[in-house]
A and B are shown apart, each in its own frame.
Chain A
């Protein structure tokens, strides 16, 4: 069988998280809202109205463009894309065509062995969303709430080479959108939508074969699965000597199958022309500069810096930079602690992340502040408390907002390393458990853990376990 490689391009629609729609003052987010409750004459296409561009939508699109390393254009235009469909009340969609907001751009996906896949951006522009239609008893019902919601359409060049890379691109894009705060990027809610163009060719070939387009993939897992199935189908077809036809396929989530949609006979004639109701969009250097000063260090850059600056394994750096507030939290803790950055990483990845997951919070919402966490780690380093006490302090600080030192003092949690106190408890345990003592002395060495446990229990966890073990070993050897 020929060795094939996949050639994949992704077309994404990103819903910007502005308060209002792109051309009118209706609320943009209609999640769980009753149909047609966020509409006005502008977005429902009544005659005689004028669209006015939302400043925030432009600014968020500018941030995204800059983060994708695209060139923001000082002059761009909105165009009318004319087509008839009931979800489009005006008979056209306002989009950008000839002079988009930004050109060029790329995202470098990290691959194993320190390599990267550069995914170029072929298209990046602002446009308005259309409404929703659904079938009901032979009729179609239309909800215009989504009409006019601001979208960035972003299309990659066919630079992705596997289903896994396609999934990774979306994961990185979602991470970036949330990092920048420009979109909620929830695929299940349609904030981030994706169509995938897929073709295959013999590995190393430079030409492109006809592609198919996969629509209606609503999660990153679904994109991975649908693209993989389509690559396998195309390979089977080619091996059987068939040619690939340019179908449009629809992903059916329930059956996990691709279904052929009615194929388009001709490319639609959209008769694009400049939107006469909107002025050209001028982006001055000052405006651009003032917006781009808010551009934070990007997730992949920070990930790389965590590896070089703190000596973290890539695995740690990846998890700690998955979300911006977590990565800020990490750095603040490292700074406050001043010790081994890897130790801080372990605390975050094991304990703080579990806490965040359980509570459904982000790191910036915790009452357990970076300074608190740093203090807990220091208290353990200094031998004031033991590890288990440290872990229990996380919840206590989170619940009360008190400092770890205050809680340790009030609850008497400081580790007892007083030799005499521990020694007398050890003697008690030995006196109370003659059977275990005999077994231990007859060679059942694993009982040592049990003895240490008994001592810890009697001392409510405050004993230094290493010291307890040493004393027990000494007493039991007699």
Chain B
């Protein structure tokens, strides 16, 4: 399945990736090949098979509603590129 350059640009944008012209060309080729490979699965007739979402036994793993102590804000904020007033600080967002 051939992808167009425009489609690859759109996918890159959704993933917030900035690609050079060169990379766009290369990834268009590679992504198309990957899709072709995956498309071989379409040759099989799966209309009578239910989609598999998990191979584990049909049992829900649930957690009791009990509070455990949180991490301290200092520990969590250590991962922040910038912080202020106990909060994560990011550049302004354009809406």
Contacts and interface: CB of A to CB of B under 8 A. Distances in A.
Interface string A266-292: 000101001000011111000000000
Contact of A133 (B16, B61, B63, B93): B93
Contacts of B58: 75, 280, 282
B76 A281 contact: no
Given A46-B79, A133-B93, A279-B56, A19 B62 contact: no
B87 A36 contact: yes
A85 B56 CA distance: 33
Interface in A1-48: 18-20, 25-27, 34-41, 44, 46
Chain B contact patch, size range: 20 to 34
Nearest to A274: B53
Contacts of B73: 34-37, 39
Interface string B78-95: 010000111111111101
B90 A142 contact: yes
B14 A269 contact: yes
Contacts of A138: 92
Contacts of B20: none
B68 interface: yes
B63 A52 contact: yes
Contacts of B63: 20, 25, 52-55
A280 B61 CA distance: 9
A261 interface: yes
A3 B88 CA distance: 52
Interface residues of A, number: 49
A306 interface: no
A143 interface: yes
Contacts of B14: 82, 269, 271
A135 interface: yes
B65 A144 contact: no
A37 B88 contact: no
What does DSSP make chain B's interface, helix, strand, loop or mixed? loop
Nearest to B89: A139
Given A18-B65, A37-B70, A55-B62, A262 B95 contact: yes
Contacts of A280: 53-54, 58, 60
A56 interface: yes
B38 interface: no
A133 to B, nearest CB: 7
A53 B62 contact: yes
Interface in A130-186: 133, 135-136, 138-144
A251 interface: no
B67 A27 contact: yes
B71 to A, nearest CB: 5
A104 interface: no
A281 B60 contact: yes
Contacts of B92: 135, 138-140
Contact of B91 (A75, A140, A279): A140
B70 A40 contact: yes
A35 B87 contact: yes
Nearest to B95: A262
For A26, A58, A135, the residue with the greatest tally of chain B CB atoms inside 10 Å of its CB is A26
A88 to B, nearest CB: 12
Contact of B60 (A56, A135, A282): A282
A135 B91 CA distance: 10
A341 interface: no
Given A25-B68, A37-B70, A139 B84 contact: yes
A20 B87 contact: no
B48 interface: no
Contacts of B71: 39-41
A26 B73 CA distance: 13
A330 interface: no
B66 interface: yes
B88 A142 contact: yes
B1 to A, nearest CB: 18
A38 B70 contact: yes
A18 to B, nearest CB: 5
Interface centre among A18, A75, A135, A139 (most CB of B within 10 A): A139
Interface string A443-466: 000000000000000000000000
B54 to A, nearest CB: 5
B90 to A, nearest CB: 5
8 contacts: A36-B87, A53-B61, A58-B60, A77-B53, A133-B90, A140-B90, A141-B89, A144-B88
Interface of B: 10, 14, 16, 53-54, 56, 58-68, 70-71, 73, 76-77, 79, 84-93, 95
Given A34-B86, A55-B64, A57-B65, 4 more contacts: A54-B65, A86-B90, A139-B84, A269-B14
| 8 closest Cβ pairs, A-B complex | A56-B65, A25-B68, A55-B62, A141-B87, A142-B88, A36-B73, A52-B63, A86-B90
